[in-house]
């Protein structure tokens, strides 16, 4: 074994925890399980909560079902085994002179190691009985002499997340000692900013730094009740002086007031956000110094006839966004833009105009979509639109390639179903023309090598990772990039994930759409729902029915599966025809059912959430989602975005399991609003960013202190401060 000499070149805070007195290999391994490797990690180990130990109760004062802290000496302890030694209860009995208290742990026999008769034990928990007084699974700590009163008692005492074998009290002492020793080494991470921040403030305390208030609207009160407040009132007032980093770390562990840990969190989260935003902005700046834009001003020779023949007028919102895109595409640096717009707001047409600008300027365009169904739908639409302009459109999905040049869209439709492959002579004839290539992730693979790629469009981009997006971009020499998403992304997430992209938002839906209403129903109302469905089908409408999974077997009980229901409903719904669509079908089967549904040869489409993105069949005006409690709110909003696309009124019925009252309550948000941004906010509060974005989404940074569900004001401030770091010459 080697003994590590202190390395003078690394900051003391970066030293491994083994450099601390009292931390040997075993303790270090335990800390490692909490991801505490260095002194800094230890100082940033966040208490789960603080316990007010200035107010201890005697055992006799304990009340039923009320959490409280008390202490007493162990007068007896032991483990009882039963069920053939497979189950156990470990129990200690405490006495403090006023009464006795039983503390029990079920099936944790190793607890016995931590206690001995005579120990003075501090207990936090809720009595579940008073005869005798009993608490199950309390938090405990064995009190010892010495520093007690300063560190562990008579104060707001930090309670840390632990792992097996690591005592609360030992960890608290270690953090206390480490803080005493290293507090003076904790530097302000951004000395340049401290210069821009006026120190002192009203209190004259040099440990506080005053943050210059940015040009955001007044956000006075600091409330932390995230669920019931609007995003802007949730964050701290930016007038609050931030503590220095060193002071924040002390407040985090050993606060003087109950508010200090949250104030500390704000400061430490701000540091995290500044670091992230600084990286984002550096990346963007590096990109801009390297990348010369391909000039794509266009000359209107395609766009003009395209818009003329479209059959509707662009909305003001679409026109405004298009103006921004045009400016980008004539700019000095390549466009890097995120186009957001709620489901059905008409992003595809805007993307088409953008593509035409590039094509007019002699560049090829690649459009990538997350599913084959969506790629094919785009192919049909774009060939329809571009065919009269004699522009080449090509489809590439899972090992297949189809081109449209001089062919009518209806023929393409049959081409999709018949699976004819194009002739190579045909392919070679068009290689030197600027081409629009539409495809799935197959575009990323090596086979696709576009000539003169000027624009990359990514649809439903939240289904792709950042890496995939950049791989496609690298197929050209700094092409323009337009990414589109219908999942409205709350601003905190947008700024974190897409901070280096400019953002355009289509703020209104096209006119002339029927009303979309949503109803939440318990499963026992299903017969009525089907009756209603039948009446709609009789009136000539089409419907989607969505189930949470493909097959019955495996997985949780009580969830309906699309294949099973298909068998049932095929007969039940006759004479109407029912189609089946899910991810396990062969591509050819998926296509033919979509073609049949579009052509109204199939009236009811049974599907999984596969149809979530993009599918556009305006005559479908009814959607029934079973086991709706299984889906996230944002996902349900996406799903119901498949209806309400025509002039007819549409209805979405969310059926939730009869017993889950709470689940139905959550779903009512969808009854109340059609605003995707509002829904995404609620989803973020309820389920957190990871779930909201879906598991595929990579690249979401991990924060120790930052909270994307509530830190919008901090993120905005961090962005501004990071900008001062990256562009010190400006302002």
Residues at the contact surface with ligand ADP, assessed by CB under 6 A: 312-315, 318, 341, 343-349, 486, 510, 616, 645
Answer yes or no: are the C-beta atoms of 566 and 665 closer than 8 Å.
no
User: Residue 62 and residue 432: Cα distance in Å, rounded?
Assistant: 84
Q: Which is nearer to Mg ion, 255 or 614 (CB)?
A: 614
Instruction: Establish whether the linkage from the previous residue to 586 is cis, with ω within 30° of 0.
Output: no
Which segment (129-137, 272-280, 519-527, 606-614) binds Mg ion by CB under 5 A?
Answer: 606-614
Select from ligand ADP, Mg ion, none the partner in contact with residue 110, using the beta carbon and a kind-dependent cut-off of 5 to 8 Å: none
Cβ at position 593, least distance to ligand ADP in Å: 20
Task: Measure CA 353 to chain center.
Answer: 30
Q: What is the 3-state secondary structure (H, E, C) of 234-247?
A: HCCCCCCCEECHHH
Residues 180-219 that bind Mg ion (CB under 5 A): none
Q: Which of 478, 462, 451, 432 is nearest to 368 (CA)?
A: 462
Minimal distance in Å, beta carbon 436 to ligand ADP?
Answer: 16
Minimum CB separation from ligand ADP for residue 202, in Å? Answer: 50
367 binds, among ligand ADP, Mg ion, none (CB under 5 to 8 A by kind): none
Name the binder of 344 from Mg ion, ligand ADP, none, CB < 5-8 A by kind: ligand ADP
Total number of residues that touch Mg ion (CB under 5 A): 1
> What Å distances lie between residue 256 and 156, 199, 253, 277, 460, CA to CA?
7, 22, 10, 32, 48
Nearer to ligand ADP, 221 or 313 (CB): 313
Q: Using CB distances below 5 to 8 A depending on partner kind, what does residue 645 bind out of ligand ADP, Mg ion, none?
A: ligand ADP
The number of residues making up the chain comes to 731
In the complex, least distance from residue 617 CB atom to ligand ADP, rounded to whole angstroms? 9
- Which run of H or E residues covers position 135? strand 133-136
Q: Are 625 and 608 in contact (CB under 8 A)?
A: no
| Angstrom distance (rounded) from CA 322 to CA 315 | 11
Beta strand extents in 19-86 (DSSP E only): 49-52, 68-82
Q: Which of residues 604 and 643 has its CB atom nearest to Mg ion in the complex?
A: 643
Interacting span for Mg ion (CB under 5 A) from 361-369, 468-476, 609-617, 689-697? 609-617
* 620-626, strands of its sheet edge to edge: 516-522, 650-656, 620-626, 542-546, 604-607, 578-581
Identify any residues that bridge with 542 across adjacent strands, giving them in sequence order. Answer: 620
Rounded to an integer, what distance in angstroms lies between the CA atom of residue 94 and that of residue 133?
10
- Least separation in angstroms between residue 419's CB and Mg ion is 25
Complex with ligand ADP: residue 69 or 368, whichever CB lies closer: 368
Beta bridge partners of 480: 455
The secondary structure element, H or E, covering residue 279 is: helix 260-290
Which CB sits closer to Mg ion, 47 or 614?
Answer: 614
CB of 698 to ligand ADP, least distance (A): 23
Question: In angstroms, what is the minimal distance from the CB of 348 to Mg ion?
Answer: 5
Which region holds residue 390: left if phi is over 0, alpha if psi is between -120 and 50, else beta?
left
Provide the minimum distance between the beta carbon of 317 and ligand ADP in the complex, in angstroms, as a whole number. 9
Measured from the CB atom, the residue of 274 and 375 that comes closer to ligand ADP is: 375
Distances (CA, A) of 325 to 41, 436, 474, 572: 44, 18, 21, 50
DSSP bridge partners of 114:
none
> Which option in Mg ion, ligand ADP, none does residue 496 bind, with CB closer than 5 to 8 A by kind?
none
Smallest gap, in angstroms, from Cβ of residue 388 to ligand ADP?
A: 16
Q: How far is the CB of 369 from Mg ion (least distance, A)?
A: 8
For the chain, how big is the Rg over CA atoms in Å? 31
Q: 274 vs 458, which CB is nearer to ligand ADP?
A: 458
> Residue 314 binds which one of Mg ion, ligand ADP, none, with CB within 5 to 8 A depending on kind?
ligand ADP
712 and 233 Cβ atoms separated by less than 8 Å: no
Bridge partner residues of 89 (DSSP): 80, 106
Q: Which does 315 bind (CB under 5 to 8 A by kind): Mg ion, ligand ADP, none?
A: ligand ADP
Q: Which does 726 bind (CB under 5 to 8 A by kind): ligand ADP, Mg ion, none?
A: none
In the complex, what is the shortest distance from the CB of residue 314 to ligand ADP, in angstroms, rounded to a whole number?
A: 5
Q: What tokens appear for 199 in the block?
A: 């120190």
Restricting to residues 96-115, name those near Mg ion by CB under 5 A. Answer: none
Question: 140 vs 318, which CB is nearer to ligand ADP?
Answer: 318
582 binds, among Mg ion, ligand ADP, none (CB under 5 to 8 A by kind): none
CB nearer ligand ADP, residue 506 or residue 656: 506
**125 or 344, CB closer to ligand ADP?**
344
Looking at beta carbons only, is 614 or 706 nearer to Mg ion?
614
349 binds, among Mg ion, ligand ADP, none (CB under 5 to 8 A by kind): ligand ADP
Closer residue to ligand ADP (CB): 272 or 460: 460
Region from 488-496, 568-576, 608-616, 671-679 binding Mg ion, contact rule CB under 5 A: 608-616
Minimum distance, C-beta of residue 338 to ligand ADP, in the bound complex (Å):
13
- The 3-class secondary structure across 157-179, one letter per residue, is EEECCCCCCCCHHHHHHHHHHHH
CB contact at 8 A, 504 and 321:
yes
The separation between the first and the last C-alpha atoms of the chain, rounded to the nearest angstrom, is 55
Nearest approach, Cβ of 483 to ligand ADP (angstroms)? 13
Q: Please report how many Cα atoms fall inside a 13 Å half-sphere around the Cα of residue 478, on the Cβ side.
A: 18
Separation between Cα atoms, residue 279 and residue 705, nearest integer Å: 18
Q: Of all residues in this chain, which one has the CB nearest to ligand ADP in the complex?
A: 346
Q: Is 614 in the site for Mg ion (CB under 5 A)?
A: yes
**Euclidean distance between CA atoms 617 and 406, whole angstroms:** 25
Q: Which residue, 645 or 666, has its beta carbon nearer to ligand ADP?
A: 645
Residues contacting residue 283 through CB under 8 Å, at least 6 positions apart: 500
Binding site for Mg ion (CB under 5 A): 614
């Amino acid at each position: 074994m080697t003994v590590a000499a202190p390395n003078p070149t690394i900051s003391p805070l970066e030293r491994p925890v083994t450099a601390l007195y009292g931390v040997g290999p075993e303790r270090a391994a335990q800390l490692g399980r909490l991801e505490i490797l260095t002194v800094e990690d230890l100082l940033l180990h966040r208490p789960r909560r603080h316990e007010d130990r200035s107010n201890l109760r005697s055992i006799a004062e304990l009340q039923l079902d009320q959490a409280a802290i008390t202490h007493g000496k162990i007068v007896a302890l032991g483990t009882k085994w039963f069920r053939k030694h497979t189950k156990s209860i470990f129990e200690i009995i405490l006495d403090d002179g006023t009464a006795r208290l039983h503390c029990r742990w079920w099936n944790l026999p190793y607890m016995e190691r931590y206690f001995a008769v005579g120990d003075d034990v501090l207990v936090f928990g809720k009595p579940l009985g008073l005869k005798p007084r009993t608490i199950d699974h309390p938090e405990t700590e064995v009190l010892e002499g010495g520093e007690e009163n300063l560190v562990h008692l008579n104060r707001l005492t930090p309670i840390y997340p632990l792992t097996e074998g690591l005592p609360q009290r030992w960890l608290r002492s270690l953090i206390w000692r480490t803080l005493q020793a290293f507090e003076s080494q904790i530097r302000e991470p951004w000395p340049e900013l401290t210069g821009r921040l006026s120190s002192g403030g009203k209190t004259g305390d040099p440990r506080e730094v005053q943050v210059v208030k940015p040009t955001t609207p007044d956000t006075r009160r600091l409330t932390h009740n995230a669920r019931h407040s609007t995003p802007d009132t949730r964050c701290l007032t930016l007038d609050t002086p931030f503590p220095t980093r060193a002071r924040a770390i002390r407040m985090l562990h050993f606060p003087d007031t109950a508010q200090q840990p949250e104030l500390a969190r704000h400061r430490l989260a701000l540091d995290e956000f500044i670091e992230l935003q600084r990286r984002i902005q550096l990346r963007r700046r590096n990109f801009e110094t390297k990348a010369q834009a391909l000039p794509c001003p266009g000359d209107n020779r395609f766009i003009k006839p395209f818009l003329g023949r479209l059959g509707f007028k662009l909305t003001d919102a679409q026109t405004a966004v298009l103006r921004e895109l045009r400016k980008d595409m004539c700019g000095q640096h390549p466009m890097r833009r995120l186009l957001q717009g709620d489901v059905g707001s008409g992003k595809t047409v805007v993307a088409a105009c953008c593509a035409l600008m590039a094509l007019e300027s002699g560049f090829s365009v690649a459009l990538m979509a997350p599913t084959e169904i969506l790629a094919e739908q785009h192919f049909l639409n774009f060939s329809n639109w571009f065919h009269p302009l004699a522009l080449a459109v090509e489809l590439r999905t899972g090992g297949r390639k189809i081109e449209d040049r001089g062919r009518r869209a209806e023929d393409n439709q049959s081409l999709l179903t018949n699976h004819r492959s194009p002739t190579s002579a045909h392919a070679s004839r068009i290689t030197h023309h600027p081409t629009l290539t539409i495809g799935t992730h197959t575009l990323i693979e090596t086979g696709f090598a576009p000539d003169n790629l000027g624009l990359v469009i990514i649809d439903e981009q939240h289904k792709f990772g950042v890496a995939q997006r950049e791989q496609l971009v690298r197929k050209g020499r700094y092409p323009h990039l337009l990414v589109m998403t219908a999942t409205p992304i709350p601003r905190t997430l947008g700024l974190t994930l897409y901070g280096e992209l400019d953002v355009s938002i289509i703020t209104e839906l096209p006119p002339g759409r029927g009303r979309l209403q949503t109803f939440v129903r318990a499963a026992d109302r299903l017969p009525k729902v089907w009756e209603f469905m039948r009446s709609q089908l009789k009136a000539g409408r089409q419907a989607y029915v969505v189930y949470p999974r493909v097959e019955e077997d495996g997985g949780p009980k009580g969830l309906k599966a699309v294949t099973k229901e298909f068998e049932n409903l095929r007969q039940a719904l006759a004479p109407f025809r029912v189609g089946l669509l899910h991810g396990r079908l062969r591509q050819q089967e998926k296509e033919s059912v979509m073609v049949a549904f579009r052509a109204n040869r199939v009236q009811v489409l049974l599907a999984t959430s596969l149809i979530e993105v993009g599918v556009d069949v305006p005559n479908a005006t009814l959607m029934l989602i079973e086991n709706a409690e299984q889906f996230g709110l944002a996902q349900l909003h996406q799903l119901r975005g498949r209806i309400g696309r025509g002039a007819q009124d549409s209805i979405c019925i969310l059926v939730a399991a009869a017993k889950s009252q709470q689940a139905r309550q959550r779903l009512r948000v969808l009854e109340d609003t059609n605003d995707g941004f509002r829904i995404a906010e609620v989803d973020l509060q309820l389920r957190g960013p990871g779930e909201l974005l879906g598991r595929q989404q990579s690249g979401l940074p991990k924060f120790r202190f930052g909270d994307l569900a509530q830190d919008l004001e901090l993120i905005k401030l961090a962005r501004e401060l990071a900008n001062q770091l990256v562009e010190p010459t400006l302002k």
